[in-house]
Amino acid sequence: MSKKVFAVIGTGAIGGYYGARLHHGGRDVHFLFNSDYQHVVDSGLKVDSHYGDYSITAAELNAYNNAANMPKADVILVALKTTQNHLLETLIRPLLKPDTLVMLLQNGIGAEQEVAKAFDLSYVGGGLCFICSNKVAPGHIDHIDYGRITVGVYGEDGMEPLESFARDLTSSGVEVDIDPKIVDARWKKLLWNVPFNGLSTVLDSDTAQIMDCPELVHLSRDIMIEVQQAAQTTDTEIPTSLIDTMLGNTAKMKPYLTSMLLDRRNGRELELQYMYKNAIELAKKNGVSMPKTSTLYQQLCFLDRQDS
Amino acid sequence: MSKKVFAVIGTGAIGGYYGARLHHGGRDVHFLFNSDYQHVVDSGLKVDSHYGDYSITAAELNAYNNAANMPKADVILVALKTTQNHLLETLIRPLLKPDTLVMLLQNGIGAEQEVAKAFDLSYVGGGLCFICSNKVAPGHIDHIDYGRITVGVYGEDGMEPLESFARDLTSSGVEVDIDPKIVDARWKKLLWNVPFNGLSTVLDSDTAQIMDCPELVHLSRDIMIEVQQAAQTTDTEIPTSLIDTMLGNTAKMKPYLTSMLLDRRNGRELELQYMYKNAIELAKKNGVSMPKTSTLYQQLCFLDRQDS
């Protein structure tokens, strides 16, 4: 059996970290870069990690700046922001084989189904990364904490390739959970992301400022309940106790700037479609309205248009 | 019959303008000042108006910095922001006679009932001022445009003093409408104020920026529909055509900074209770929820707390 080929599409804080782990575990990993390409060709890829630093030298690194030049892959890790998903036709089409496992390491709801349809794939995997990791300079990733990944797959015949990929991760030192109902995990992550990413961005505030304001705690809870009800329309049961737990944990957290607020402050496009629009439309199709979530979404659309 | 005494509580853009008009019409007007007191004692009150400039010299001006020194009044014009209404006990109690007409020239819902209860008055008047007027310096008001006032009264036996006051205004050159259902007029003004004051403040934007964003036009309409439904619980029928007209007019308006946004930018307390809280609670008591309006209100509470 020839060696499995891994492709990382989007070598940033997430793709760079997990790709480097797989490389460290002896896998054949090919990385697509954008603006960092020339830097890594000269200097390689560097990961500072609280699990031990790791570098891939320029000579060892399979770096590309054009997907058309990459080999066909057994596993494609898509670690782009969802705002870049319109580029997937160009970025993953050249890499697909009949049995390729595409893994979307992204936030939000609905992308796996879209990708399965667009590329006529019988299965598409999804991953939720619980990690603190930042790209601090070109080709330089700082992995601060955590790193566990929850993976699942849409399409029944995808379980075997998914389990094989999970073993690759485990043996490369990554903690993995397989969640056969990945959609449940996605909704649970949205439960936090929808209120806190949105409110922090609209009000330009961190999580501690939000939790210090009784009206916003109330609003966050109301929005979480809307997400809970939306999830229910896709047979995902979120217990109300999880809402209380998440609010309690958020109150205890150090002040945290959400990814969407950082995107806004850095003039980047906001991840509105998969984090808001898809959930609102899915719920609406199933007869559930999300008025407070929609209000936040409409305000975020305004901010996003302002910056574009 | 002795000459009617008028008291102006809060001599700013609104109180200063209407008080000066009544003075110009030969009425006996007494003005309460706060920070501008020493200036007007030295230099008088000046109103630049597109209807003709008018000044009251220091010698002619009945200026006070303490309500306890003012005479009992037949008509008290309250032209404070509603955020100052907790001061009314101190500011109007000394001026009350058994038949005094208190006129609240303020925005929002619910203040007349509160004042009637607090001071055990059988009637309290309300006025809605359709005016562009600013205080541009101490004792100096710039009246830019409009000036019509719609007045009404809570309490049946208040019609006679209200009509008498309306005649005083008319003969002083102010356009007046008497609206026996002043609450209808108040709701109609809220119909615009609730979405546009709130969204402009939360998103730090003018009306043109809001109307340029399709999602916010949609949200504004949704919020107006919530206000329409809330008004209905107090038997105020707002035709949907008015919502369309207001949105159309707002789209055609020159970019406009709402009073609440200006309050925010100037670090002043926001008028949340009478413009949002009372309407939301009134609707809730009558079984109508206002989720989008509540979202905006909760966000505004956060901004208001930040500044306080």
Which site among A215, A217, A223, A290 would you substitute to test the B interface, given the most B Cβ atoms closer than 10 Å to its Cβ?
A215
A302–B205 C-beta distance less than 8 A: yes
* pLDDT cut 90: percent of chain B above it: 90
- Residues 6 or more apart in contact with residue A230 via CB below 8 angstroms: A187, A279, A280, A282, A283, A288, A290, A293
The structure's pTM equals 0.90
B271 has pLDDT over 60: yes
pLDDT of residue A174: 96
| Tens digit of each residue's pLDDT, chain A (308 residues) | 579 999 999 999 999 999 999 999 999 999 999 999 999 999 999 999 988 999 999 999 999 999 999 999 999 999 999 999 999 999 999 999 999 999 999 999 999 999 999 999 999 999 999 888 889 999 999 998 889 999 999 998 999 999 999 999 999 999 999 998 888 989 999 999 999 999 999 999 999 999 999 999 999 999 999 999 999 999 999 999 999 999 999 999 889 899 899 999 999 999 999 999 999 999 999 999 999 999 999 999 999 999 77
Task: Give the per-residue pLDDT at B182.
Answer: 86
Q: Is A292 a catalytic residue?
A: no
Q: Could you tell me which chain B residue has the CA closest to the CA of A216?
A: B298
pLDDT, chain B, mean = 95
**Given this model, what pLDDT does residue A101 score?**
98
Provide the ipTM.
0.88
Minimum mean pLDDT range among A201-210, B5-14, B69-78, B127-136: B127-136
Residue B307, pLDDT score: 76
Mean per-residue pLDDT, B45-51 = 93
In the predicted model, what is the mean pLDDT of residues B139-162? 93
The pLDDT value given to residue A298: 98
- Asked if B202 and A299 come within 8 Å (Cβ–Cβ), the reply is yes
What was the pLDDT predicted at A146?
A: 86
Q: Regarding predicted confidence, which is higher, B181 or B291? A: B291
pLDDT of residue B1: 53
Q: In 3D, which of B47, B48, B39, B41 has the Cα closest to residue B69? A: B41
- pLDDT of amino acid B246: 95
Query: Which among B188, B189, B254, B292 is annotated as catalytic?
Result: B189
Task: Specify the pLDDT at position A1.
Answer: 53
Distance from CA of A195 to the nearest CA of B (A): 11
Cβ of A291 within 8 Å of Cβ of B296? The answer is no
Other Cβ atoms less than 10 A from the Cβ of B149: the count is 21
Contact predicate A94/A116, CB 8 Å: no
> B55-74 burial by CB neighbour count: b if 16+ within 10 A, else e?
bbeeeebbbbeebeebeebb
